Amino acid sequence: MSVAEYIWPQPPKGNYRGSQKASRPAPDPLLTQTGPETPCGKYLRMFWWPIGMTSEVPDDLPHKTKLLGEDLVLFKTRQGEYGCLHLNCSHRNTSLEFGHVTECGIRCCYHGWEYAVDGTILDTPGEPAGSKIKERVFHGAYPVVEFKGLLFVYMGPQEWMPEFPVYDTFNLADDELVPYSISYPANWLQIAENTTDPYHTVFLHANHSIDHFEESWGEMPVIDWHEHENGRHTCNLCTFRWKDKIWVRVYETFFPSFSQVGSFFETAEDEKYFQRAAITKWTVPVDDTSTKISAWRHFGKAIDSDNLGRRELVGKDTVDFLGQTADRPYEDRQRIPSDYEAQVGQGLVAVHGTENLGHTDRGVAILRKNLRAGIERVQNGEPPVRPPQNGQEVPSYCSDSVLPIPEIPGVDDEELRRQVAHAVVDVLRSADDMPRDERVTFVKSELEKLKDRPEFTQAKLAS
């Protein structure tokens, strides 16, 4: 064959500009670095964080863990009190994960130094009787609160330690809280931003491949945001038109990363009012390139009247809905990606300088804005905005309400849905000061009245 008979490949036509984007800027250190000496790390330490599940801490063995870049050990004394200490012994730095749990503390395996749950040195065997080590040395320790199967720690200055916040969704009737924990090899912020991005549910969970949840999730909602005036809280208002009903779904995030979302099994077929959270979760920075979701799944008639949830699948690195872990064949994850793939796929630390944010990213921008404001407050010597310190349950808004409000001929349905959503939030806000049970009754009653408001019915045409 002569040279003239060879077929030579031709370069593809097009305006290829990959070389212009080959260099990448560095990640944003202010929002992504969480160590003890970083601005964000100091801010995050002003809140209570779930550090593990009680099921992870045996009665007679310590549990090695990490939070906000610090190596720690959890344990339960023989008296039943939980402790959280810096991992390495203050004597010769041996890891206390190999220590022995005692009646009221933990004893290092190497030379027997014993520590109380607050870091007080209880015993230094081998030292002379007059040794002052116990008086002049203390070990790093953090207070621990156990609540419904999760262990929480506070890692900031003791003088700024807030009350442990109990939200109204923690103690609802006919509602069982089942703890779980999911690990992610990625920075905390890109995991936390997922809840503030309601648009992704339409594309990732419905229109990209298959319906991950229910068919109704594939409808494009009208989306708006409600920011609480005190700056501690934001809600995504997702309002769907589903047949002759308007479905108002309220997601919420209390800064920095406590969030709640509604039922995965909502079909929007049946009328309902103020159905509460299916997930209550914290996005927990383990270190700058690893994160945990520590959470409760809600079960019971209040949230899952058809008993579609599966308690037996909820626990350590497992939960009963699709796509939250890497525990699927890689090809399946490529064909049917979900939250895990979308979040971890941004890299170990997402680079904001390569993003091109648009209209759908307003919730992400709100989160980042409020995190920066909280960091700035702490840098200025003020505590961040936190739930009020009055010993009461904190009212939250996460809910699903499906109202029988049909389309009105001649009226812009998107605007109608937006008005209904803001009417729903007004009702939720109006009951903030009520006790939980009274609030639930009041809100349901007031929401049910919305379907008869003249502005949401055919009477609107006459005006």
Predicted pLDDT of residue 460: 57
Strands (E), 68-170: 70-76, 82-86, 100-101, 105-107, 114-116, 121-123, 141-142, 144-147, 150-154
Domain ranges of the chain: 39-160, 168-462
Q: Percentage of residues in the chain with pLDDT exceeding 90? A: 76
Reply yes or no on whether the pLDDT at 212 is more than 80: no
Q: Dig out the tokens for 406 from the structure.
A: 């049909």
Asked if 239 contacts 247 with a C-beta cutoff of 8 angstroms, the reply is: yes
Reply yes or no on whether the pLDDT at 286 is more than 90: yes
The DSSP secondary structure of 290-355, one letter per residue, reads EEEEEEEEEESTTT-TT----GGG-BBTB-SSTTSSS-S-HHHHHHS--HHHHHHTT-SS--GGG-
344-355: per-residue pLDDT in tens? 999 999 999 998
CB atoms under 10 Å from CB of 461, counted, come to 10
Q: Dig out the tokens for 88 from the structure.
A: 């390495």
Kindly state which CATH superfamily the domain 168-462 is placed in. Answer: Naphthalene 1,2-dioxygenase Alpha Subunit; Chain A, domain 1 (3.90.380.10)
62-121: per-residue pLDDT in tens? 999 999 999 999 999 999 999 999 999 999 999 999 999 999 999 999 999 999 999 999
Q: Tell me, what amino acid is at 167? A: Y
CATH top-level class for 39-160? mainly beta
Asked if 425 contacts 397 with a C-beta cutoff of 8 angstroms, the reply is: yes
Mean pLDDT (the chain, rounded) = 91
Confidence bin at 462 (pLDDT 50/70/90): very low
The DSSP secondary structure of 277-291, one letter per residue, reads -SEEEEEEEEETTEE
**Chain-centroid distance, C-alpha 97:** 28
Q: If you average pLDDT over residues 264-284, what whole number do you get?
A: 93
Whole-number Å distance between alpha carbons of 296 and 313? 13
**274 compared with 218, residue with greater pLDDT:** 274
Confidence bin at 7 (pLDDT 50/70/90): confident
